[in-house]
Structure 1
Amino acid sequence: MSVALYEFPLCEKVRNYLRLEHLFARLHEAKSATTENQHLYFLEVLFNMLELLERLDLRTDFLRDIDGHERKLEHWSKHPDIDTEALENALQSLRSLSAEIKKNKKLGANLREEKFLSAIRQRFAIPGGVTSFDVPMLFCWLKQPEQVKQNNMSQWLTQLQLIETTMQTLMSFLREKGRFHETQGVNGYYQSSQVSSDEKLELVRVRCDNADGFYPVLSGSRNRFGIKFMQLNTETGTSTPVTQIVSFAIASC
């Protein structure tokens, strides 16, 4: 079975977290590369990351989310059956992240000020703009020993470590709020039940068999949503609604 997992953010904050998560995954994969073109890909993804960070107020979102999780954990600590050790570890992790973030007024600012990266970044916005005659500085770096390039890339990623760790922690907390359960979409459609105003959803996760070329499309809000399954047609470049029963698993977080 070819199982695919789709995640649909229901607010801008989680949408940004998922984009960051996607970029970090690509960065780590590209870092292990050994060819010049793959190193160029690493830099291209890194500059996409920096561009996204410049548009976001991550510090505010991070601190707000951490504070919310702390309050929930402190509330759960009063439950007689709670795993005290696990709860304390989670609280300590959140408090440590909060303290580090408060020390950094602008997350990722040091990396944005790296002189080498600043000197070559603009060329990556130009199609084909990173040739040896366009950016001889970059071409020289690409010809450096592999260990030199790996050390540079590790250093750049280290400056993003706090962002990555915080984002991973918060997404882990969010995903753990929802447990997958099996359900069906009649005529390819699934309608969620109404969610109370004090527990608005932030993420919907859909796990389904991808072998038949079906994919879900979500519409709605943080209180109520619907999922429509579509049939992929790569030849025409269009998709048509599925009209049969579709079995899948869903988790609302």
Structure 2
Amino acid sequence: MNQAVFEFPLNEKVRTYLRLEQLFRQLSQADSAQEDWQYVKFIESLFTLLDLAERVDVRNDLLKDIDLHEKNLDHWAQHPNIDMNALKQAKDNVAGLRDALKNAKKFGSALKEEKFLMSIRQRFFIPGGACSFDLPNLHYWLRQSQQYKQQILQGWLSEFSLMKRAIELTLSFLRERGRFEQVEAEKGFYQGVADDKNEMIRVYCQTDQGYFPTLSGNKYRYAIRFMFFNPEEAGQVAMESMVSFKLACC
């Protein structure tokens, strides 16, 4: 039975976190890059990451969330069955990450000094603008050795390593806040009330039954509607039968 988790953010902050997480997953494929298109795709994703980092003050949001993680760890220390060694290690990791974030420069700021990257950046916003006749300097760069290109890519990625660690930690804590519970959607529709602390809704359901979940709402109330997947339909068609799925409010 095929199943998947669908994640729906309830605020703009978590929406940004999830977008950044996806970008980091795409960028992590750099290690196995061999073909020109893989390097071009990496650079395209890097520019998207840089653009997002410039528009959103991610660091302040991450610092607030990490401070909250520290308080939660202090609270868990009162639990009688807690592994104190593991707790201490977690607290040290969180504290170290917090201090590093406080002392860090703006994410990706050093890449603005990379003249090669900046010379090709605008062309990447044009559909098909990375052709060799548009960017002969990029075409020349792609002809360099694998070792050279890999070294350059890892250097660019290192500018976001701290952000990546903070995003991974914050989303892991967020996901652990919710536990999946079995629920049912009458006629493919489910409505719920979000807790004040809820920031993300996770839906765990089958993917071999011809339907997928959509979510609408806000941090107070939300509604889940299951829709038929039909790539030939111009619009989406709602389910009219009972759907059993698992729900986690994080």
TM tier relative to shorter chain: over 0.9
> In 2, distance between residues paired with 1:29 and 1:209?
28
Q: How far apart, CA to CA, are the structure 2 residues paired with 1:172 and 1:71?
A: 16
Query: How far apart in 2 are the matches of 1:113 and 1:187?
Result: 56
Equivalent-residue separation in structure 2 for 1:88 and 1:44 (angstroms): 40
Is contact 2:65-2:170 (8 Å) kept? yes
CA distance in 2, matches of 1:84, 1:224: 38
Q: Per-residue displacement from partner, 1:121-176 (whole Å, max 9, x unpaired)?
A: 11111222222232221111000011111111111111111010110000000001
CA contact (8 A) 2:30 2:150 kept: no
Q: State the aligned residue count.
A: 250
Task: Say yes or no: does 1:20 pair with 2:17.
Answer: no
Letter paired with 2:213: P
SS in 2 for 1:98: helix
- Equivalent pair of 2:204/2:246 in contact (CA under 8 Å): yes
> Which consecutive unaligned segments of at least 5 residues does structure 1 have?
none
Which residue of structure 2 lines up, in the alignment, with residue 189 of structure 1?
A: 189
The answer as to whether partners of 1:31 and 1:42 remain within 8 angstroms in 2 is no
Contact 1:17–1:167 (Cα < 8 Å) also in 2? yes
My pick for the range that moved more, 52-61 or 119-128, is 119-128
Task: Give the Å deviation of 1:250.
Answer: 1.2
Mapped contact 2:120–2:135 kept (Cα < 8 A)? yes
C-alpha distance in 2 between matches for 1:129 and 1:105? 31
**What amino acid does structure 1 have at the position aligned with 2:223?**
G
Deviation at 1:240?
Answer: 1.0
Aligned counterpart, 1:248:
245
Q: Where do 5+ consecutive residues of structure 2 fail to align?
A: none
Identity of aligned residues (%): 46
* Aligned counterparts, 1:1-253, within 5 A: 1-192=1-192, 194-196=193-195, 199-253=196-250
Aligned residues of 2:188 and 2:238 also touching (Cα < 8 A):
yes
Query: Shift of residue 245 of structure 1?
Result: 0.7
Distance 1:244 1:122, change over 3 A: same
Q: How many Å separate the matches in 2 of 1:26 and 1:136?
A: 25
How many angstroms does 1:195 deviate by? 4.4
In structure 1, distance between residues paired with 2:194 and 2:39: 46
- Alpha-carbon offset, residue 86 of structure 1: 2.1
Task: Report the residue type matching 1:224 in the other structure.
Answer: R
Cα separation, partners in 2 of 1:87 and 1:224, compared to 1, 3 Å:
farther
Q: Do the aligned residues in 2 keep the contact of 1:187 with 1:242 (CA within 8 Å)? A: yes
Match of 1:242, as an amino acid? Answer: M
Q: Scaled by the length of structure 2, what TM-score is found?
A: 0.95
Question: TM-score, structure 1 length as denominator?
Answer: 0.94
